[in-house]
Amino acid sequence: MLKLYYAPGTCSLASHIALEEAGATYEARRVDFARAEQTTPEYLAINPKGRVPALVTDRGTLTETPAILAYVAQSFPERRLAPLDDPFEFARLQSFLSYLCSTVHVAHAHNRRGPRWADDPAAHEAMKAKVPQNMGDCFALIENRMFAGPFVMGENYSIADPYLFTIANWLEGDGVDPGRFPKVLDHRNRMVARPAVAKVLAAVQA
Ligand SMILES: N[C@@H](CCC(=O)N[C@@H](CS)C(=O)NCC(=O)O)C(=O)O
């Protein structure tokens, strides 16, 4: 059975929702960040990166949200969570996932994870101060140029939707007013109403 290692409030929410939308049989295992469980030898044996998400499959462990999302979409093709038979559309989808992973998530991480990039406390403060602008700029691009509507990639719900939802939930904490992005905010509200999303949110917050 698939086993997802997750922590509340993190990017693992996207993979969690995708598994639920796919109708997958899986076990969700919480990693306790308050105890720094992600740094323990036991967890590092599962994911040497010391991060969530990690998805344990019968063929090995997958990490990196875009890879896990694509794996879920390809493993449950009947759920149509990605345009699997269209190379160009699938590449467009991956382009969106990659942007969230490598640019938007990294901009967000400068809020609390400054010690990854500098030792100087003043540098941490400088990085933190830049987060609202960088996250605001990223979401302006998503709102104005990337979000097709009604779902991220257009008419069809896809693995990009839980990923955008997950990161859009960080806006307030990053000092950005989500009201600046009406399409993203409307999408966030519609996502909460989806049964799979409500189920995962309830489980994660329990
Ligand atoms: N590129 C990875 C990023 C994973 C990542 O940074 N996860 C964060 C939570 S959002 C984490 O586990 N942080 C724990 C830590 O830094 O100690 C992905 O997209 O899956």
Tens-place pLDDT, residues 100-138: 999 999 999 999 999 999 999 999 999 999 999 999 999
Nearest atom, ligand 1, residue 36 CA:
17
Mean pLDDT of the region 70-77: 98
Domain shared by 107 and 173, yes or no:
yes
pLDDT at position 153 over 90:
yes
Domain shared by 41 and 117, yes or no:
no
Q: Which pLDDT score, from 0 to 100, does residue 206 have?
A: 84
Nearest atom, ligand 1, residue 53 CA:
20
Domain shared by 34 and 109, yes or no:
no
CA distance linking residue 166 with residue 156, whole number of Å: 18
Mean pLDDT of the region 41-45: 98
Domain shared by 101 and 189, yes or no:
yes
Domain shared by 41 and 69, yes or no:
yes
When pLDDT is cut at 50, 70 and 90, the band that residue 47 belongs to is very high
15 CA → ligand 1 middle, Å: 12
Domain holding 36, by residue range, is 2-80+198-205
Helices 195-205 and 12-22 cross at an angle (nearest 10°) of 130
Say how many C-beta atoms besides its own lie within 10 A of residue 10's C-beta: 20
CA distance linking residue 70 with residue 48, whole number of Å: 21
Q: Which pLDDT score, from 0 to 100, does residue 17 have?
A: 98
Domain shared by 74 and 146, yes or no:
no
Domain shared by 190 and 97, yes or no:
yes
* Percentage above 70 pLDDT, the chain: 100
The number of domains in the chain is 2
pLDDT at position 78 over 90:
yes
Indicate which residue's Cα is closest to atom 6 of ligand 1: 51
Q: Which pairs with CB-CB distance under 8 Å and at least 24 residues apart come from 190-199?
A: 190/150, 191/161, 191/162, 191/165, 194/21, 196/17, 196/20, 196/21, 197/17, 197/20, 197/162, 197/165, 199/20
Domain shared by 109 and 50, yes or no:
no
Domain shared by 99 and 185, yes or no:
yes
Indicate which residue's Cα is closest to atom 5 of ligand 1: 51
Q: Which of 10, 40, 51, 204 has most ligand 1 atoms within 8 Å of its beta carbon, as the pocket-test mutant?
A: 51
Indicate which residue's Cα is closest to atom 18 of ligand 1: 64
Domain shared by 41 and 122, yes or no:
no
Indicate which residue's Cα is closest to atom 12 of ligand 1: 51
User: Tell me, what CATH number does 141's domain have?
Assistant: 1.20.1050.10
Q: What is the mean pLDDT of the chain?
A: 98
Task: Give the pLDDT confidence of 11-38 residue by residue, as tens digits.
Answer: 999 999 999 999 999 999 999 999 999 9
